[in-house]
Structure formats: C-alpha cells, structure tokens
Structure 1
Amino acid sequence: MNDPSPAPTIPVRERNRNRTLLVLIVVVFFGSALVAGALRFTGWQPAGMKNHGELLDPPGDLRDVVPRLVDGGEYDWNPAERTWRIVVAPPADCTDACVSLSHDLDKVWRLFGHRADHVHILWVGTPPEGALRNRVWNVIEPAPGFTVQFPGLDAGGPDGAPVYVVDPNGFVILRYAPGFDPGHLRTDLARLLKLK
C-alpha cells in the first residue's frame, strides 16, 4: 500500500539556483520599498512635482471675506465653479513694474487656452495707467480684512508686487515674490487647473 521508494530529490545545483532567485526577489522588493521610504522621509521630490511659488503654510483664509468691486457689487468666491484666482495687491508707487506685470499676467492667462475661463485675475486697488486688462480682470477695493490674508504683501515697491494664487474655495496657497518669472506661475497654475 505504501510506496517504499523515497521522494525524488532536487539536484543541489537547481536547489541553490532557486534559493538565489528567491533571495534576489526579496532583496529587490524590500530594497525598493526601503529606498522609496528613505526618499519620502527625507523630503525629496522629483523636479516635475515641485512648485515654483512659495507654498503658504498655513494658507490665508478668504472664505468669510467678501471683496468689494471698485465698479460696485461684490466678488463671489463660488467654489462650485472651480475658478482659481491670481491676486495682485501692488503698492501705490508701483507703476512701470506693475504695468509690465499686467502684461505678463495677461500673457499667462491667454496661455491657459480652453482652461483660461477657470482663472480670474484680481487686482487690489487702482491699476496704474497703461495696465493691460482683459475680460477676467476684477478690480477689488483695498480692505484690511482682505489684504491681511496675504503674507509678505509689504515686500512690493516700485520694482514690482508679489502675486498670489487663491484656490477655488478661497484659500491663499502660493506666493510669488516681486520680479518672479511669469512662466513659473503658468507652470504651477496649469498643474492646479488639472485637479478636479
């Protein structure tokens, strides 16, 4: 009934090859997980995932602030429309640099193509003579409750003004120092516009 013959044995060479393959698989799996964990906890990010603007932590909160338009009326945040905002609050002595900034912002807005309708430009205070305005420009009355949510706002002067990105819910999330590269704003905002 019982077969007295012993079970076939695997040759030593094949057994060692199988063990080596198993050890290699374990090393590759756990080694890649270990490297990924080390990169994650050291804060490394691929260059394509880094934003150019300064990420504000904590972000400014404009949800309860109702900006007043210079032409009359109120500017509504309307989070359901998924509209992003570029906000500029230049000082009074910013003239030529702010005219140039208005042209750069118009160029950035146009480069969004079919997504441009999801970006508004809010200019706080009176734009300087010669500033370029397009249909998504909204001129906002300066109000302390509004401008207090923008850190580093006083960094502007005759050489330019900081620019901010406000998300659809009304949080100020990114800041660009005066004299920034407009291409960086476009790159960051293009990534954000892809978010649903």
Structure 2
Amino acid sequence: MTASVKRAAARRKILMLAALFALPVIVAYGLYFSGWRPAAFGNHGELVQPARPIVDAALTLLDGKTLHFRELRGKWTLIVFSPAECLSPCERNLVKMRQVMAAQGQNAERVQSLIVVTDAKARDWLKYAIKDYPGLRAVVGSSEAMEALARQFALSVGSPLDNLNRIYLVDPLGNFMMSYPADADGNGIRKDLARLLRVSRIG
C-alpha cells in the first residue's frame, strides 16, 4: 500500500469518526424542530412551523436610543408584550423569564429578555417597573411600529396586541419559533430552553 493510499484511508477514518460524533446532535436537533416528542416529554411550548423570520423593526429603549430588532440576533430571546401597565399576568411572565434564564447556569449568557410595551406613554412607569429584572430590556415604539411587529408574532389565537400574555421565543437567527400561553409552567419553559441550548450550536 502506497503512502498516498494510506493517507487517504486515514482521512476517511477521521471523517467517519467526526460524522459519528456529530450525528446525535444533528438527529436531536432535527427531531426537536420537526415537532416529534417522546411520550415523557410533554407539551411545554407551542412550535411555530415553519419558524417565522422576524422582519427588522426600529424600537426605542428607555434612554431614547434606537434598538433595531435585528440587534437581538446572536442569542435566544424571550419576549413579552404589554400595554401601558404590566398587570399580574405580565408580571408573572417577567418572573418566569427571570427564573428560566437564571436556571440555565453558565448558559444563561446565551439568553436575553425583552418587554415590548405597546403604549409609548408608559416610559416613566417602565423605568421603575424593570428594576427588579436585571438584564431585561424594555422598548416602546410608535403605534405603527408596534402593530407591524405584533403582526409578525400573530398566532391562531390572536396577536400580542390582544393581551394574550404569552411568552414568545426567538432563536439566535431571528426566527420566531415557539410560544407559551399565559398559564405555561415555568419549569416546562426552563426544560425546553435547556434542551435547545444543549443541542444548538448557534447563540
């Protein structure tokens, strides 16, 4: 056997080993996003199929600076929408998001949270309200911008402007891919996100 033939055989072995190591991750990711669930998994989140790319929107942070939605890419993003006041269901969602993120341990830095307030007059209230939620970014915008953004998160049950009090999950590529109803169990959200972080190599 010549040296070149030996090198080619060695390369094939290396490629086969690499494929064997990568295959479980690829299969797990494919099964998860195809909607398949083992019986023990339960139905925590509601998948958006196919995942929906969110068109960029210009929003306003509480300090008056502009935040483009595309700037959220690179991390998994948990989003809630709220009218002028974040009432009890909204507050429960903020607590859930804070707990879900903290429970990810060293992976917590791969997740971010956002509250989109649909009434720009709520800016003063927001500055006070988000103090209990470190890292949470709050944005407001014109009614036109809010309507355009909310339409992209619309589901069969309605849009975020219908005060559904859902939690929406956007992947690091900017795709809306899952949501949770107002009564969703925070532990279920934690498990879903932990699984996504484990199988994903993005974000």
TM over 0.5: yes
Out of 146, 150, 153, the position equivalent to 1:150 is: 153
**Does the 8 Å contact 1:106/1:132 carry over to 2?**
no
Residue 73 of structure 1 corresponds to 66
Taking the aligned partners of 2:172 and 2:42, their CA distance within structure 1 comes to: 21
Which one has a bigger Cα radius of gyration?
1
Residue of structure 1 equivalent to 2:52: 60
Q: Quick check: which one's helix share is greater? A: 2
For 1:129-154, what per-residue CA distance to the aligned partner results, in whole angstroms no more than 9, with x for missing partners?
75564332111224222221112334
Report matched runs for 1:1-196 at 5 Å.
45-47=37-39, 52-71=44-63, 72-75=65-68, 76-77=70-71, 79=73, 82-92=74-84, 94-125=86-117, 126=122, 127=126, 130=129, 133-142=132-141, 143-151=146-154, 152-154=158-160, 157=163, 161-194=165-198, 195-196=200-201
Cα distance, 1:70–1:49 mapped onto 2, change above 3 Å:
same
Give the fraction of aligned pairs with identical amino acids, expressed as a percent: 28
* Cα deviation, residue 59, structure 1: 2.8
TM-score normalized with structure 1 length: 0.64
SS at match of 2:187: helix
Q: TM-score, normalised by structure 2?
A: 0.62
C-alpha distance in 2 between matches for 1:153 and 1:129: 27
The corresponding residue for 1:30 is none
More strand by share: 2
- Cα offset, 1:177, TM superposition: 1.0
